[in-house]
Amino acid sequence: GSSDPYCIVKIDDEAIIRTATVWKTLSPFWGEEYEVHLQPSFHTISIYVMDEDALSHDDVIGKVCITRDMLAEHPKGYSGWMSLSEVDPDEEVQGEIHLRVQVLGTQGSRWRLLCTVLEAR
Taking the model in full, what pTM does it have?
0.93
Q: What is the DSSP string of the chain?
A: --B-EEEEEEETTEEEEE-----SBSS-EEEEEEEEEE-TT--EEEEEEEE--SSSPPEEEEEEEEEHHHHHH-TT-EEEEEE-B-SSTTS----EEEEEEEEEEEETTEEEEEEEEEEE-
The class of domain 5-120 in CATH terms is mainly beta
User: pLDDT by residue (tens digit) across 33-63?
Assistant: 999 998 889 999 999 999 999 899 999 999 9
User: pLDDT by residue (tens digit) across 64-108?
Assistant: 999 989 988 998 899 999 999 999 888 888 899 999 999 888 888
Of residues 18 and 108, more confidently modeled: 18
CB neighbours (10 Å) of residue 14? 9
Residues pairing with 33 in the sheet: 116
How big is the CA angle at 27 (ends 24 and 33), to the nearest 5 degrees?
105
